[in-house]
Structure 1
Amino acid sequence: MMQEYQLTLKDKRIVWGTAVDIEPLIGKYPGDSIRQGVNTALDWNLPAGVYRAKEVVMELDKLLESMLVQLGEPVKGDPTVLLDSLQANLAISGRVSSLPLGPLAFEDKAGAELTAQAVRIGEQLVSWAREINAQKRALAQYGPETLGALEFRSHCYGHALIPEAIAQAFGPTGGPRVMQLYNEYLHQFVLLRDALLPFANWEQVPFEVKEHTEFKGLRFLEPVRERFLTQLLGKKLTHKSIVQYAQSVVSSGLTTAGYGFQYRLGTVLPAGLGETAGTAARYLLKWHPVQTIQAAGTQDVTAVSFDYEYDDYYAAPRSEAGTGTPVKKDTLPVTGEHYDQPSIARLLPNAGSDRTTLRFSLELEGREFSVDLGQLFRGHRFLYRPQGIDNADTGVVKRTSISSHQAIDILSHAGLVTNTDGIHFIPTGGNELIVWALLGKLYPENVVLLDKGDKEELEAAFVSGKGFGTQFLVL
């Protein structure tokens, strides 16, 4: 029996599709990364197969162990300096940084999230590199004679080294041959770190590597990486461009991009799904071991891009929220009527001939309500938090009327919900499923998500968001 995939969100669940097990595919390679090259020299390349980050680090350690053997005395197997230089290379600041994001101090949310990602990934990759090298697996597997014979040309991309590493690589027992190995070692780590930037759960992401005669290891990613970093460093990064890059990294074969996608090894959606809306990442993605869409008459997982119901939300049909129940500022927050709290939400696919959409569906009072999943994530990216006047886009227009609405009434409207003026308060009873559904239902312009609803937070919320138009407060 096929098992549904589910995410746990506090005491709630989000379920969909069919859970898949990719573990049998990891680490099953038809060849070895050290093999006979041209002119009888030993060469290195990642064998074709499915990898996660740590499996790549294990294969890269063979380059480091070869270097240590070839350096011989006085290094004698001590990788400290070479690994310290790798750490400096993967840092986001400093003279030898390969991706100096730190000094840019991104203020946009996408840039800030990816900067934090680069730090997390770089630190863990170096930790794994130290841990794996300490085990000396390659030396036990191949012996010093084979590792000492490894030699190839690594096209230089200008990775700088710390002074101690320069002295070691070009010292009495070093030279161009060792430096070629080290250059490839560094470059493959940089490619690995940058490839995983879009993924919040980057350690778990499986990706396919195919052997190319013209590319070593992960070098097949260089063209898409260059385009992605140009957008990042130029501060012109969009959610769509992050999705496009992620699709290329995992070799999905997709050429068009929506807000997420399915590929042979699972499903990738924005990282907020299954997280608390107020603190969830807005631009990162997350891999899930699930087959969301099954092609008719086959068990094969097909590559599918998930589209927004409305590419341009501005053109989507809209409904007025209505008058609700008038309230005064000093009576907020109001709890609203009590109704059965949904504990489960489902993702429902609609796979058409030319596009595929997903809906986020839950049940309230015996009725089913659903919103476009893409619009839900769009609403999450655009929401405001109650950070006061400094968070406002423009001068604040005084809003006079305040009304309270039931979440079930908002979800009952057709299209996206907005209003002409006023402040509209929507209590959810702290139910994260309802919060997410509302983010997919409200027109994403002046939606402020509250944590507590106390007087201080409300005062900050009233002047958050855009300084004009109606405002929706969700608690």
Structure 2
Amino acid sequence: MPEYQLNLKDKRILWGNAVDVESLIGAYSQDSIRPGENAAIDWKLPDGIYRAREAVIELDKLLEAILVQLGEPINGNPTVLLDSLQANLAISGDVSSLPLGPLALKDKAGVEITAQAARIGEQLVLWAREINSEKRALTQYGLGTLGELNFRSHCYGHTLIPEAVAQVLGPVGGPRVMQLYNEYLHQFVLLRDALLPFANWEQVPFEVKEHTQFKGLRFVEPARKVFLTQLLGKELTHKAIVQYAQSVLGSGLTSAGYGFQYSLGTVLPAGLGESAGAAARYLLKWHPVQTIEAEDTKDIVAISFEYEYDDYYAAPREEAGPGIPGSKDHLHISEEHSDSDLPSIARLLPNTDSDRTTVRFSLEKGGCVFTVDLGQLFRGHRFSYRPEGNINSKSAIMKRISTSFHRVEDILSHSGLVTNIDEGIHFIPTGRNELVQWALLGKLYPENVVLLDKGDEEELEAAFVSGKGYGTQFMVL
């Protein structure tokens, strides 16, 4: 199998063996509409590997059955029922199933998940409208079979827009149609919520296994309840997001680190492969790769990736040193401190020699190979700061004892996490090399690190008052 490659502009991150999951998508054991108990026609998601769009295709069969039983096109109006779905998946409004908009969560994890919920909900509804317009189920099953679909939906609480209430519970509707529509809405809500952790949610493959007690995606309900409680209670941590993702993807893992491998690939924080300054801090991303290689894809094991230091506060620390003195009167990052010997390739190197699996982020610079713990790299990114604020920076600058510049090699060559005891400003120019920036985030003690984009006067003034506002400050450009 070929080595997996993740592109970051003109840079590359390489690791493991690429996994081909395309042949698994849509290869289901049986049909979703089939005879059930007591000779009734039932609906269930069959065993198989799905992505979000494939799940929407199977859910549309429910909607088409509802419309047939309402007497489409005379009494059954797909626009009204799809509008009610859209209102349920919206993050605001009277019938929203997850009203994150009015909550206006301020914590970083809450902000990212709120934006995710809006994006996913909007796209799912677009797919639902598109797929329903094609009438695939009607062509496949015919009026007779769709008209006989009937089952009990054990779910309560989804509110419908008034027009949908009038249609579903009107003269040609009733409890039977309401049960089908209730399940249709609930499955969409579960699908949206199951995909909240993943930045590339459209690509994520997940396995569905049929159960006798519940239908479709209801297997995620216990983990979803815990996840939403933490989200709405503003107690959502990165570890909690990873734990939820592991449950959704059926990894079987009980402990959580910062990422994991499961049977269909690897899940890591979404920042990998993005520019550190703009990357999401709490979302995850699925990659079609075996990080811990197996001879056959059937032998891929689920495994959690652990931090080298469970508690970074207790990790060994080393002093950055004095560096090259700079001028407090002309604080800028000059060309003389830039570096032309910059790497274009980084590798992820897993270590499974102990009872814990860790991964190293490795790059070569100046003829030397430098490695940092991948988990600490992501932790450093979550804790990093961006230039912000409009406070007069002169007072902040005056509190700094010194200003200095450091070579990347000098920082990366330390064995522990790098800090300084003084209250100086320490610039580390990287030539805007994203790989080096990520490596530094894994090496600097994650307390007062500011990521810069341009290094111009305006950004620097904002950077000086960013972070904690006191103590050693590292600025990475």
Residue 196 of structure 2 aligns to a residue whose secondary structure is coil
Matching residue of 2:469: 467
| Distance in 2 (alpha carbons) for counterparts of 1:71 and 1:298 | 46
Matched, 1:98 2:97: yes
Distance apart, 1:78 and its partner CA: 3.2
One-letter amino acid matched to 1:442: L
Matched, 1:321 2:320: yes
Residue 218 of structure 1 aligns to a residue whose secondary structure is helix
One-letter amino acid matched to 2:432: G
Cα gap change, 1:264 to 1:384, in 2 (>3 Å):
same
| Distance in 2 (alpha carbons) for counterparts of 1:123 and 1:266 | 26
Cα gap change, 1:409 to 1:275, in 2 (>3 Å):
same
Deviations 1:393-427 (A, max 9, x none): xx998212101101111001111000012110110
Distance apart, 1:35 and its partner CA: 1.3
Matching residue of 2:332: 332
Cα gap change, 1:298 to 1:66, in 2 (>3 Å):
closer
Matched, 1:376 2:377: yes
TM-score (norm 2): 0.96
How many pairs are equivalent? 472
Matching residue of 2:58: 59
Matches for 1:10-159 after TM superposition, within 5 Å: 10-72=9-71, 75=74, 78-159=77-158
Deviations 1:14-72 (A, max 9, x none): 00000010011100111111111111111111001100001110000010000000001
Residue 378 of structure 2 aligns to a residue whose secondary structure is helix
Matching residue of 1:211: 210
Residue 17 of structure 1 aligns to a residue whose secondary structure is strand
Distance apart, 1:157 and its partner CA: 2.1
One-letter amino acid matched to 1:342: P
| Distance in 1 (alpha carbons) for counterparts of 2:256 and 2:105 | 25
Cα gap change, 1:222 to 1:416, in 2 (>3 Å):
same
Distance apart, 1:77 and its partner CA: 5.1
| Distance in 2 (alpha carbons) for counterparts of 1:208 and 1:437 | 34
C-alpha contact 2:75 2:167 (8 A) present in aligned 1:
no
One-letter amino acid matched to 1:52: R
Gaps of 5+ in 2: none
Distance apart, 1:389 and its partner CA: 5.7
| Distance in 2 (alpha carbons) for counterparts of 1:272 and 1:457 | 22
Residue 286 of structure 1 aligns to a residue whose secondary structure is strand
Residue 370 of structure 1 aligns to a residue whose secondary structure is strand
Cα gap change, 1:299 to 1:152, in 2 (>3 Å):
closer
One-letter amino acid matched to 2:214: F
| Distance in 2 (alpha carbons) for counterparts of 1:453 and 1:313 | 29
Matching residue of 2:363: 362
C-alpha contact 2:153 2:183 (8 A) present in aligned 1:
yes
Cα gap change, 1:396 to 1:185, in 2 (>3 Å):
farther
Distance apart, 1:82 and its partner CA: 0.1
C-alpha contact 2:76 2:167 (8 A) present in aligned 1:
no
Deviations 1:157-176 (A, max 9, x none): 21000000000001110000
One-letter amino acid matched to 1:469: G
Residue 475 of structure 2 aligns to a residue whose secondary structure is strand
| Distance in 1 (alpha carbons) for counterparts of 2:61 and 2:392 | 50
Distance apart, 1:390 and its partner CA: 6.7
| Distance in 1 (alpha carbons) for counterparts of 2:439 and 2:415 | 14
| Distance in 2 (alpha carbons) for counterparts of 1:173 and 1:87 | 23
Distance apart, 1:126 and its partner CA: 0.3
| Distance in 2 (alpha carbons) for counterparts of 1:31 and 1:341 | 53
Matching residue of 2:171: 172
Matching residue of 2:441: 439
Identical-pair percentage: 77
Gaps of 5+ in 1: none
Cα gap change, 1:390 to 1:249, in 2 (>3 Å):
farther
| Distance in 2 (alpha carbons) for counterparts of 1:198 and 1:464 | 28
